[in-house]
Structure 1
Amino acid sequence: MCSVFDVNDDAGIERFLEDYGVHNPQRMLFGRRRRPTQQVSIVTARHGRPEVENAIWHLYLERDGENWKPHRKYWSINSNWQKLDKRPEYHNSRCLVPATAWVESLHGKNPVEFSYGQPFFFCGLYKTWGDILSCSIITISAHPKTRKYHEKSLPMIAPADKHFVEQWLKGGHDTALFEPYLQLHIEYAGQPLAVQPLVRATSTEYAGDRVILG
């Protein structure tokens, strides 16, 4: 379960977005330790081209007077890969979530930060609520090398592949292209995943050395 992530503005996000032809990078919301129900930046192609938009990180919302807020009965910051084919958003409303790191823990203890040393995209889903967008991050099963840090899952990372990104944002019911990426892998753009212990899940203070999961 991915419940905290970073979008570090010192890590070349704007250049990363430019490489993928993403418009409106000036809309990006930066910050470390982004949390559920906050506004986060996503990439959609709902207007015909990939562009940065901002969304509430909680897929299901409910009315709160004239506004929308995270639904109290449906905790929906993540979407499990095993249920994707039953989700209309998987076919019609796929998005990408720019990030530079994420945080996991084991039964709520011993939090760690995962990173690749470069920006990447989480694969996600989005919904529209009038003028408001909401989103979730797709999770896959934990990799054998990451289970000691978080036994349940890993976020789905988009490969560093422009064709994949284009097809992911395009929408459509033919999702066979994505099946290999629902399997377990922890490398990104030829780089191994790194992990580093934290003092607390929401802290930026480290409690140990960085380890490469090669």
Structure 2
Amino acid sequence: MCSVFDVDNQAAMERFLDIYGIQHPERVIFSRRRRPTQQVSIVTERMGRPQVENAIWHLYLEKDGNQWKPHKKYWSINSNWKKLEQRPEYRRSRCLIPATAWVESLRGKNPVEFSYGEPFFFCGLFKTWGEILSCSIITLDAHPATKIYHEKSLPMVAPRDTDFVNNWLSSSAPTDQFTAFLQPHIEYDNCQLKVRPVARATSTEYTGDPITIS
């Protein structure tokens, strides 16, 4: 389960978004250790062009007076890949979530930060609630090389490929073309995945040197 992530290095992120012609990069929320139920930045194509919007990181919301808030009965910051075919959002409301790192732990202990050293996108789903957006990050099975750090899952990272990004954001693209990507992988644009221990999941204090995973 991906439950904490970073959106850091503004200059690199703006260059990254520009590769895909994504509009409104000024809307990106830059922050270390974004947490569930907070506002995060996502990329959608619901306005006809890929653009940055902001959403609540919790897919299912409920009405509380005149406001929408995370649904108490459905913890939905992640969407497991095995259930994607059951979700209408997978067929027509896919999004990308800009990030630069994420944090995992082993049964709540020994938290570590994963990163590639450059920006990337998580693959996600989004929903609309009036004028409010919500989102979740898609999780895959754990990769054999990452199970010692988090045995349950690995977030789905989009390949650095314009065709994939365009198809993922398109509400008309059939989902069968994404099947091959629903397997855990740690390769990304010739960058090696690195892991580094941190004091706590929400802390930016490192307690060791980075290790390259291969």
TM-score by shorter chain over 0.5: yes
Aligned equivalent of 1:139 = 139
Counterparts of 2:205 and 2:162, CA distance in 1: 34
Q: CA deviation at 1:9?
A: 3.0
Length, aligned pairs only = 214
Aligned equivalent of 2:118 = 118
Counterparts of 1:183 and 1:76, CA distance in 2: 21
Aligned equivalent of 1:194 = 194
Counterparts of 1:183 and 1:107, CA distance in 2: 22
Do the aligned partners of residues 196 and 11 (structure 1) sit closer, same or farther apart at CA in structure 2, a change above 3 Å counting?
Answer: farther
Alignment partner of 1:36: what SS?
A: coil
Q: CA deviation at 1:180?
A: 1.1
Aligned equivalent of 2:82 = 82
Counterparts of 1:86 and 1:7, CA distance in 2: 30
Deviations 1:87-140 (A, max 9, x none): 000001000000000000000000000000000000000000000000000000
Is there any run of 5+ residues in structure 2 with no aligned partner, and where? none
Q: For 1:21-60, what aligned pairs fall within 5 Å after superposition?
A: 21-60=21-60
Amino acid at match of 1:141: D
Counterparts of 1:129 and 1:204, CA distance in 2: 33
Counterparts of 1:160 and 1:22, CA distance in 2: 14
Scaled by the length of structure 2, what TM-score is found? 0.98
Aligned equivalent of 1:180 = 180
Counterparts of 1:162 and 1:198, CA distance in 2: 33
Counterparts of 1:186 and 1:179, CA distance in 2: 17
**Contact map agreement 1:11 1:119 (CA 8 A) in 2:** no
Is there any run of 5+ residues in structure 1 with no aligned partner, and where? none
Aligned equivalent of 1:69 = 69
Deviations 1:141-164 (A, max 9, x none): 000000000000000000000000
Scaled by the length of structure 1, what TM-score is found? 0.98
Q: CA deviation at 1:191?
A: 1.0
Amino acid at match of 2:191: Q
Counterparts of 2:41 and 2:100, CA distance in 1: 13
Counterparts of 1:168 and 1:4, CA distance in 2: 23
Amino acid at match of 1:114: F
**Contact map agreement 2:4 2:36 (CA 8 A) in 1:** yes
Q: CA deviation at 1:11?
A: 5.8
| Structure 1 residue runs of 4 or more that deviate by more than 6 Å after TM superposition | none
Q: Are 2:122 and 1:91 equivalent residues in the alignment?
A: no
Counterparts of 1:164 and 1:41, CA distance in 2: 19
Alignment partner of 1:37: what SS?
A: coil
Counterparts of 2:168 and 2:7, CA distance in 1: 21
Q: CA deviation at 1:177?
A: 1.2
Amino acid at match of 1:39: Q
Amino acid at match of 1:26: E
Alignment partner of 1:139: what SS?
A: strand
Q: Are 2:209 and 1:206 equivalent residues in the alignment?
A: no
**Contact map agreement 1:11 1:100 (CA 8 A) in 2:** no
Counterparts of 1:68 and 1:46, CA distance in 2: 20
Q: CA deviation at 1:181?
A: 0.9
Tell me the percent identity: 69
Amino acid at match of 1:63: K
Amino acid at match of 1:213: I
Counterparts of 2:84 and 2:32, CA distance in 1: 28
RMSD of the TM alignment (CA)? 0.9
Alignment partner of 2:52: what SS?
A: strand
